[in-house]
Chain A
Amino acid sequence: MILDLGPYAGFIVVAYAAALAVVAALIAWIVADHRAQQRTLKDLEARGIGRRSAAKEVA
């Protein structure tokens, strides 16, 4: 199926491309942030710095 977007195809394509780029950037930022926070938490816990509540949860 080939879409016929008429004389204003450029505006339509740029609008969809911009939406895709912004949504992709949001997803990438959230995934990268999650990994960074988890990495830092593991690093701190590996150095023996843990939450008291976490110790209770384990116990």
Chain B
Amino acid sequence: MTIIDLANPSRFLAFTARVLPWLVAATVCAFAVGLYLAALAPDDYQQGATVKIMFIHVPNAWLAMFCWTVMTVAALGTLVWRHPLADVAAKAAAPLGAAFTFLCLLTGSLWGRPMWGTYWVWDGRLTSVLVLFLMYLGVLALWRTVEDPSRAARAVAILTLVGAINLPIIKFSVDWWATLHQPASVLRLGGPTIHRSILVPLLVMGLAFMLLFLTLHLAAMRNEILRRRVRTLRLMQAQAGA
């Protein structure tokens, strides 16, 4: 089966049925290893045990941006290539992105209170991530507002492409503005600045959350395809009755 074959919704459903059990197993294993390594990780010399919050905060921050990136590629697929699964992928990613961004903000606040002395500051990084969360909510609202999925997809695609401007703002906010949030310490040109004893659990937890996203995204795409079949059948039923 090639990538082009997956453009067919029926073939995509068959593909997800085969792949999902393996993805679920890989996700569970990755979380088991990641949480074990996170429990064994030493306290940070400055943060103490609160460094353990980073093992969920940082992967959720990565996924918050990654989900919008997936939606941006899907938006191009909808507007430029009119790929049949592009808007299905975009719609399925939106609630996942909102959830991961919410967790990023929440766990960041829970780390900030003991370390910074406050749950929240209106600095560049925190504010731009809050804007990302609000954009996710906007996208979810737009999907629900327009009944016809293909019309909603075009409107959401435009909003998504405009919102993608926020991604580099989030990434470079810690370089452009004075901020309480520390600069990049993993994804940076000079390599990670974190000690191996903390970096390894962080990367394994990052992998686990990425696998979780892939699993949930495929499952949510499968649901969306089924929902559209239901809609088509109901339209056929209504036309037959008219």
Contacts and interface: CB of A to CB of B under 8 A. Distances in A.
Interface of A: 1, 3-9, 11-12, 14-16, 18-19, 22-23, 25-27, 29-31, 33-34, 37-38, 40-41, 44-45, 47, 49-51, 53, 57
Contacts of A38: 226
Interface residues of B, number: 38
A15 B111 contact: yes
B216 A30 contact: yes
10 contacts: A5-B52, A6-B48, A6-B50, A11-B53, A11-B111, A11-B114, A12-B53, A19-B107, A23-B212, A44-B230
Contacts of B52: 5, 12, 16
Given A22-B102, A26-B216, A53 B10 contact: yes
Interface string B42-55: 01000011101100
A30 B219 contact: yes
Given A8-B48, A33-B223, A44 B107 contact: no
Interface of B: 10, 39, 43, 48-50, 52-53, 56-57, 60, 95-96, 99, 102-103, 106-107, 110-111, 113-114, 212, 216, 219-220, 222-223, 226-227, 229-230, 232-234, 236-237, 240
A37 B227 contact: yes
Nearest to B218: A30
Nearest to A25: B99
Given A1-B39, A41-B233, A34 B226 contact: yes
A22 B95 CA distance: 11
Main secondary structure of the interface of A (DSSP, over half): helix
Q: With a 10 A CB-CB cut-off, give which of A15, A26, A31, A44 has the most chain B CB atoms.
A: A15
A53 B106 CA distance: 46
Contact of A18 (B107, B212, B219, B236): B107
